[in-house]
Each structure stands twice: as structure tokens, then as C-alpha cells.
Structure 1
Amino acid sequence: MSLPLSTTAPLAMSVVLQGLALGLGLIVAIGAQNAFVLRQGLRREHVGSVVLFCALADALLICAGVMGMAQALGERPGLARVLALAGAVFLAVYGLQAWRRALQSHRLQAAAGGIGAGRGAVLAQAAAFTLLNPHVYLDTVLLVGSMGAQQPAALRGWFVAGASGASLLWFGLLGFGARRLAPWFARPKAWQVLDALIGATMFALSALLVRHVVLGF
């Protein structure tokens, strides 16, 4: 489905923001990969390489997901509604989990000490934290891919840009802003507020998918 330029231009920013919100909602969480990037930032050790690797890995997985899901949905039109409803349920459950975390006390900590490692060893660790996590494929390939594939063909690139930009923004903040942000990340209250916002965002995106199903694609 192609859209005229006059229609594509106003919708592009909306689609970029959808991808950005979904990407941030999925990636901003206390986990091993984020702790690793934060640690490298605190140590000021190969920060640019780590940030770039993690962001590019996410971008490639998102692109693969959107293109692969677009082909699957093109061959099976009825699958679009099923995936949209499944995605809406997943996002709603994710939102509930975020709100549950908001009621608990968590913090993200990363030790800054230790012996320095070479760039290759550090990137190998980054690859392990990124690619050996099964949730990364569920998030980027299946969920983000299916949501992006349901956008009009002319807008899928904008969605990918928004979702990929979320990874670059977040990892950049973690890595290059580690020294200033580490005290903030160590405060449980900060993560509770963040989780509350993530929950609200996930519910809004879930409602958007349901709206697509009800009104048609």
C-alpha cells in the first residue's frame, strides 16, 4: 500500500514516535546488557564501540523483523489481525509488569573497577549480552517487527528509524552519560517513576493496535 507524499509527510513523524516509544519501552529496563553498557561507561573503556555495536545489533534485528513480518503478512492477510491482537495482549501484559515493578524497589548498579580489556574482548561480551538473550528476538524481531510490518509500506522505514533511534539514544545515554547518570540509576525511586511511565506507554500502544484491528488496516 502506497501513500501520496501529502499524506505520508504528516504521518511520518507520528510513525517515528510510535517506533521510538515502543523501542524505549522495551529496552529501558534493569538487565544484564544495560548494566554492562553502564559499566563500560563508568570505566570509560571502548564506550563508543559498545554503544555502536548494541545500537546496530538492535537496528539489524528490527529491520529483519519488519521485512520478514511484512512478507509473512503480505502472503497471509488474515495473520495481520491475529498478530495485532497478540501484540496488543503482549503490550498490555508488559505494561502490567512495568506497573508491578513500579511498586517495588530496584536499582541498576555496575562496578567501575577491574582490569581493562581489549576492544575485541569487550565487543565479544557485548555480543553475548545482546545476542544470547532470547528476549531480544521476541522484542525486536517478533513484536517490533510485526507492529512495523503493519504500517503502510511508505512508512515502514520511518518506524524502523524511530525504533532503532530508541536503542541508539538509550545506549548513548547509558554509555556516555554514565558518570553523571549512575547516581540516578542507583535510586530505586527513579526506576519506579520510569516503570510507571513505561507501563502507560505500553497500554497506549496496545490500545493503538486494538484500534487498528477494529477500524481495519
Structure 2
Amino acid sequence: MTTAVFLSGAGLGASLIIAIGAQNAFVLRQGLKRRHVGWVVFICALIDVLLIGLGIGGMGALIARAPVLLGVIRWAGAVFLFLYGLRAFHAAWKGPGHLSAESGESQTALSAVTTVLALSLLNPHVYLDTVVLLGGIGARYGWPGNAWFAAGAMCSSIIWFTALGFGARLLQPLFEKDVSWRVLDVIVGIVMWWIAVALILSR
């Protein structure tokens, strides 16, 4: 029973985390550039672990009753994603040389941390999926089942971000070509703008 609950949490957590999004796109990009990957992976996993814990602890019901707060986060997130997407399109237009000068050695750990925090926290779907959905489903198991469910979801998050961030270097040969970086930045820009529009249109 314990193993089944753990795997249930791991499976649902993975299905929510692995879907392409702004956060995953940023982690992949940092992994390919090999810039502050440890910090980025650690923060993404830590935020998920904390939010899953809060959801299992009952915070999900409170967030579900705070539409005003979610509305503020939704619009702030949409603006940030639009600007980040614009930056990605600009990098694709200027080419890898511009990208290297802008976000290579000159990128600070603080800049990377600030960006990943914004991408992780300025998206109301993060709270709805991680806190409300996972928390609500996990709460049905009661103690200690909910703890095992949460542990499974947390493990999925930690494994995924670690694999994505540190495993991205395996794709490095592909990104020795300038066109690959341009394509990646275009994809990142499209993802950012698509999520921004989805946030604005969501209710």
C-alpha cells in the first residue's frame, strides 16, 4: 500500500512537472550554457518540495479561495513572461555571439537565481497544480499515506530538474552549430509568449 501511494504521487508529480513550460525551458538553457546550473536546479526542486508540502498540509484550500491573489500573480507573470520571451527573440535575431556576450560569463548567479524565482513563482498554475491539485489528491490518503504521496511527488521533482539541468550537456554537440541556438531561442520565446497569453485568457 505504501509503495503504491508513493508511486502514485511520483507519477502524478512527474506528469505535472515534465510538461514543457517556462521553468523547464530556462533550466534546459542554463544546462546547455553550463551557467549556475546547481543553483537553478536546487531552487526549482526546493520550490516544488515546499509547495507540495504546503499543499499536503492544507494550504491548497486556502489558495483556492484567494482569487484576487492569483489574479495579481497571473498578470505579473504574464508581463514577465512577455518580456523574457521578447529577450529570447532578440537573442535569436542577434545570434549566438550576442547570446554569449549577454548571458555567458557576464551572467551572475544573482541574475540566474532572480530569473528562476520569477519563472517559478509568477505563474498561478504552479500553485494550482502543485499546491491545490497535488495537495488535494494527497490529502485523501490521510496520515501517513499523504506523506508518502508527497514524498513520491517531491522525488519526481528532484530527479527531473537534476536530470534536465545536468543532463542538458549531453546535447552540447548539437548546439555547436549557430542555427541550433537560434532555434532554441525562438522555441523559448514562443513558449514564454504562449504561456503569457494563456495566463491572460485564463479565469
Sort the TM-score into its range (normalised by shorter chain).
0.5 to 0.7
After TM superposition, list the pairs within 5 Å mapping 1:173-188 onto structure 2. 173-181=163-171
Match of 1:39 in 2: 29
State the shift of 1:40 in Å: 0.8
Number of residues of Structure 1 aligned to a counterpart in Structure 2: 136
Structure 2 gap ranges (5+)? 63-95, 175-179, 181-203
Match of 1:66 in 2: 56
Q: What amino acid maps onto 2:125 in structure 1?
A: H
Q: Distance in 2 between matches of 1:47 and 1:162?
A: 24
Any conservation in 2 of the 1:69–1:146 contact (CA below 8 Å)? no
Q: Distance in 1 between matches of 2:8 and 2:139?
A: 13
Higher helix share: 2
Q: Secondary structure at the match of 2:144?
A: helix
State the shift of 1:152 in Å: 2.4
2:119 to 129, 147, 150: 129
Q: For the aligned residues, what is the CA RMSD?
A: 2.2
Match of 2:143 in 1: 153
State the TM-score, normalized to the length of structure 2: 0.62
State the shift of 1:67 in Å: 0.7
Any conservation in 1 of the 2:8–2:152 contact (CA below 8 Å)? yes
Q: Secondary structure at the match of 1:177?
A: helix
Percentage of identical aligned residues: 50
Q: What amino acid maps onto 1:115 in structure 2?
A: G
Q: Distance in 1 between matches of 2:140 and 2:27?
A: 32
1:115 aligns with 2:104: yes
Q: Secondary structure at the match of 2:165?
A: helix
Any conservation in 2 of the 1:70–1:149 contact (CA below 8 Å)? no
Consecutive aligned runs of 4 or more in structure 1 exceeding 4 Å deviation: 69-72
Tell me the alpha carbon deviations over residues 7-56 of structure 1, each in whole angstroms, 9 at most, x when there is no partner: xxxx1111110011001101111211101000111111111111111001
Structure 1 gap ranges (5+)? 1-10, 73-110, 187-217
State the TM-score, normalized to the length of structure 1: 0.58
Any conservation in 2 of the 1:51–1:171 contact (CA below 8 Å)? yes
Tell me the alpha carbon deviations over residues 94-128 of structure 1, each in whole angstroms, 9 at most, x when there is no partner: xxxxxxxxxxxxxxxxx874333111111110100
Match of 1:16 in 2: 6
1:55 to 45, 50, 57: 45
Match of 1:144 in 2: 134
